Amino acid sequence: MAKSTPGDYDAVREDIKALLHQPEYDDGSAGPVLVRLAWHSAGTYDAETDTGGSNGAGMRYEAEGGDPANAGLQHARVFLEPIKAAHSWITYADLWTLAGVVAVEAMGGPAVPWQPGRTDYVDDSKLPPPGRLPDGALGADHVRAIFYRMGFNDQEIVALCGAHNLGRCHSDRSGFEGAWVNNPTRFSNQYFKLLSGVEWKEKTLENGMRQFYYIDEDSEEELMMLPTDMALWFDDKFRPYVEKYAKDKDTFFADFSKVFNKLLELGIERDASGRVTNTDNVKGGYHS
Ligand code: DDH
């Protein structure tokens, strides 16, 4: 990996793309876990107190990284270490969010607008407490409570959850098991087609976790949904968006692009030129 001049984000993008192919890992791609890293780095945001969010890359520290919801994301961070080593000028907070955006597009998804400028300063007073991320075992009320806290509406919640077209659950990480779709390294609207189009049955895993399953007729592969995924289908206000995205891939892609960018911008303040203005408000913070 060649070193780059500060600000050469295209060089970083190229190196992220080159590391996505990981024959020994999961379904052969680092993409899904990188998307999850980007989401979890940002999804701690609380609009009311203006705490959490991707600024600060707090997951490097035990207080946030040790949240059980973040189990397994060390794989994503380790994948990105050679990139940080080659392009040492980029902040972790920018690298993690950029990697998610690059992965979505490289796996066939939409281009997502991405702006740099996040800081790695950790403001202790803004560190999110554990428990800010959603719990897959719960229902629609919980999903709304989590995403309304970040400032999203019902349509945006459904669009964001379409990311479960990617990757899989690991019993040693979340306790859930399996992939949502047949081709979990290809971004599409298949998740919504399955959610709305087939019959899901409930089962309890040996570890006591409850999830939903469907045996795909062609591949005979068992696919899964979390209780929170099913909640999008069972809930009268979420369901119309599931139906819309199942029918209309282009609208899903356009909406996902917008809302993934919004997620990654939570808590980032910018001036008219796009420069981040809240990188130095380090109250009792420390520099990494
Ligand atoms: Fe998710 N997610 N997610 N998710 N998520 C898991 C995996 C992945 C929930 C729970 C889980 C989003 C929303 C929710 C991705 C992206 C996104 C796993 C499995 C659980 C559990 C973890 C493991 O065992 O390895 C819940 C609950 C919600 C919710 O909305 C209520 C959102 C919004 C995104 C996003 O990116 C915008 C991705 C990608 C994965 C696959 C990771 C992998 O390693 O593969």
Quick: pLDDT tens for 96-111. 999 999 999 999 999 9
Nearest CA to ligand 1 atom 29: 134
Tokens for 36? 């999850």
Determine whether the shortest distance from the Cβ of 93 to ligand 1 is under 6 A. Answer: no
- Would you tell me which CATH number, out of the four given (3.20.20.70, 1.10.420.10, 2.60.40.10, 3.40.50.300), belongs to the domain 140-247? 1.10.420.10
Could you report how far apart the first and last alpha carbons of the chain are, in Å?
24
Spacing, Cα 132 to ligand 1 middle (Å): 14
Determine whether the shortest distance from the Cβ of 161 to ligand 1 is under 6 A. Answer: yes
Spacing, Cα 97 to ligand 1 middle (Å): 15
Tokens for 130? 């554990």
**Do 9-133+260-264 and 140-247 have matching folds?**
no
Specify the CATH number of the domain 9-133+260-264: 1.10.520.10
Domain ranges of the chain: 9-133+260-264, 140-247
Nearest CA to ligand 1 atom 23: 169
Q: Distance (Å, rounded) from C-alpha 157 to C-alpha 163? A: 11
Determine whether the shortest distance from the Cβ of 224 to ligand 1 is under 6 A. Answer: no
40 is catalytic: yes
pLDDT in tens, 152-190: 999 999 999 999 999 999 999 999 999 999 999 999 999
Instruction: Tell whether ipTM is more than 0.90.
Output: yes
Spacing, Cα 5 to ligand 1 middle (Å): 34
pLDDT in tens, 109-164: 999 999 999 999 887 777 888 999 999 999 999 999 999 999 999 999 999 999 99
233 is catalytic: no
Nearest CA to ligand 1 atom 13: 161
Q: Distance (Å, rounded) from C-alpha 262 to C-alpha 128? A: 19
